[in-house]
Amino acid sequence: MTVNGSAHGNGHVASSSRSPLQLEPSSTEAARVLPQVLELVQGFIASGEEPESYVAPWGSIPNFRKAISLSLPDTVPQNNDDALLEAVKLVFDNSVNPWTGRFLDKLYAAPTPVGIAADLVLSAVNANAHVMSASPVLSLAEERCVEGLCEVFGFTEKKADGLTMPGGSSANTLAVQTALANIFPRFRAQGLLGVMQQLIEEKRAPRPLLFTSSQCHYSLDKAAISAGLGLDSVIKVDCDATGRMDPNALDAALTAAKESGAGTPFLINATSGTTVLGSFDPLPELAAIARRHHCWLHIDASWGGPIVFSHIATYSDLMKGSSMADSITINPHKLLNVPLQCSFLLVRDADTLSANSLDAGYLFHSSDRRENAAMKTMGCGRRGDALKFWLYWVRYGKHGFGHHVDAGLHLASELVDYIRSKPDQIELGPLADPLFLQICFRPLQPANGVSDVSQNGNVVAKQLSGAEVKRRSAATQFVYQELKTRRMFAVDFAPLPNGIGDYIRLVVHPRTRMEDLKMLVDQVAEIGQLYWQQQQQA
């Protein structure tokens, strides 16, 4: 017997060697460490809420890289709370602070404190949502949220289903795979080779094609790559000036593809809330076309989906027709401020998801498929992201989601009015119709002013010369850089359709303060004037 009593008599393992991950009861460590971390969390939120706080800690990434290094120690003192808290502090001190409300750069914003609580709860139960036996409540929360979302989108005719996915891109990718496998039954066993063979036998063009608008999110292209279709199988359909897919152009493209033998259409993607302009493709028209051409209709409502909760009919009607889709992606982690990540893929017919399932005898022991969420996806282990959305639903209610979205719409229209009140300093870009939450604008050289802007403030479709587009884009990028340096606002810039050049693009989040939005517009105007002055002197 070894003196140290190792059960296996293996002298390398000392009986006193407890895992350093548990030198004390976890409840003791939790009681000591968590309140201190929570205090830092509260400090981060409070500092963000101070009026003059910076939204970004660094004006430039290279400077950040030079200044900050993260250690990976070999040995550390036992239970070193100080090092841990220092590390957490370093995170807060060097993070973009969404709690400022001036992070208007991306389609997500600060969560609410309920989101932080939800993340804490998720980590505490640390349950894998692949099977219900491992995560009873999390799985039930997922089931209920899926039911709730299916209901609002009108997936009520058949037994609908869905699941959380780690992001809208993954949800879109799973939708493309699911569509392929359901439209072409050989796909599952034989892959694309089988699909091509089938199409050849049926004297149809042996290349499955996916149709989407030129304004769609790039995840559709990525989905085509990962499904083995390749980028050439994605046909981009033209949009109108407000960024909506043109249904006539879609119909013509589908017919042309078939007649020319270029390929066989199998999926139409409609975007509800495009990434740059915030436009909504016309769902009833696209649904009718999809039916006529025997295509799967997917709606990428990653960004705009929550409009379905709006109490303003003009807006909630933008999702009318969703019930005719085969699948829908929605990201509560964007407009609904649930913490990253929380996305859902919904399907109108639960059976379509069985194309993705395999029996794994060591994991799936229940014949009730509701208990085997991982069977619906290509993944296995899954975070219980639905819990966060469920806790939001419990906290704010369905009507609360609607009022939240409407508050954002109200701010956006007030901001557009404000921009229009400065026609000699700011050029307003094209807007979604009806206006959604993105607003594109750029500084205007004073002498150039007014004439570009029509009565209602929209850019006149007058053609700018290439040189003029370049000049205005350069001014936009100057403003963007200067805003970055000042660190009070985070906004993005983007090239807009039809070759009109770059514009500052901001996303109005429902919890943004109007004063901040006005201050930003004023700064864009001011920095713009500075730029044009410098140009004249140069």
Ligand X SMILES: *Cc1c(COP(=O)(O)O)cnc(C)c1O
CB 451, min distance to ligand X, A: 34
CB 342, min distance to ligand X, A: 9
Closer residue to ligand X in complex, CB, 263/273: 273
CB 192, min distance to ligand X, A: 24
Closer residue to ligand X in complex, CB, 303/393: 303
Q: Which two tokens stand for residue 395?
A: 């906290």
Reference 216, options 164, 274, 279; nearest CA is 274
Closer residue to ligand X in complex, CB, 129/196: 129
Reference 6, options 22, 20, 17; nearest CA is 17
376 neighbors 351 (Cβ within 8 angstroms): no
Closer residue to ligand X in complex, CB, 205/297: 297
423 neighbors 449 (Cβ within 8 angstroms): yes
Closer residue to ligand X in complex, CB, 286/527: 286
Reference 299, options 356, 245, 354, 234; nearest CA is 245
Reference 100, options 531, 529, 519; nearest CA is 519
Distance of alpha carbon 511 from alpha carbon 331, whole angstroms: 17
- Dihedral of the CA atoms 424, 427, 428, 430 (nearest 10)? 140
Closer residue to ligand X in complex, CB, 172/178: 172
Alpha helices in 359-465 (DSSP H): 386-420
| Beta strands across the sheet bearing 501-507 | 426-428, 438-443, 501-507, 492-496
Residues that bind ligand X (CB under 6 A): 107, 167-169, 172, 217, 219, 271, 273, 275, 300, 302-303, 331, 343
Distance of alpha carbon 21 from alpha carbon 359, whole angstroms: 35
Closer residue to ligand X in complex, CB, 135/331: 331
204 neighbors 183 (Cβ within 8 angstroms): no
Q: Which two tokens stand for residue 420?
A: 């229009």
CB 219, min distance to ligand X, A: 5
Closer residue to ligand X in complex, CB, 179/257: 179
CB 281, min distance to ligand X, A: 11
Say if strands 296-301 and 234-237 run parallel, antiparallel, or are unpaired: unpaired
- Which SS3 state, helix, strand or coil, does residue 370 take? helix
CB 231, min distance to ligand X, A: 17
Alpha helices in 282-366 (DSSP H): 283-292, 313-316
Closer residue to ligand X in complex, CB, 168/408: 168
Distance of alpha carbon 219 from alpha carbon 210, whole angstroms: 13
Distance of alpha carbon 244 from alpha carbon 258, whole angstroms: 24
Closer residue to ligand X in complex, CB, 243/528: 243
CB 333, min distance to ligand X, A: 7
Closer residue to ligand X in complex, CB, 107/428: 107
CB 170, min distance to ligand X, A: 7
346 neighbors 161 (Cβ within 8 angstroms): yes
Closer residue to ligand X in complex, CB, 272/352: 272
CB 303, min distance to ligand X, A: 4
Question: For residue 444, what are the contacts with CB-CB under 8 A and spacing of at least 6?
Answer: 423, 424, 425, 426, 427, 452, 472, 528
Q: Which two tokens stand for residue 206?
A: 């042996």
Closer residue to ligand X in complex, CB, 164/182: 164
- Which SS3 state, helix, strand or coil, does residue 343 take? strand
The residue number with the shortest CB distance to ligand X is: 168
Reference 158, options 358, 325, 290; nearest CA is 325
CB 416, min distance to ligand X, A: 21
Say if strands 501-507 and 492-496 run parallel, antiparallel, or are unpaired: antiparallel
CB 347, min distance to ligand X, A: 17
- Which SS3 state, helix, strand or coil, does residue 476 take? helix
Distance of alpha carbon 179 from alpha carbon 175, whole angstroms: 6
Distance of alpha carbon 157 from alpha carbon 459, whole angstroms: 43
CB 230, min distance to ligand X, A: 20
CB 489, min distance to ligand X, A: 21
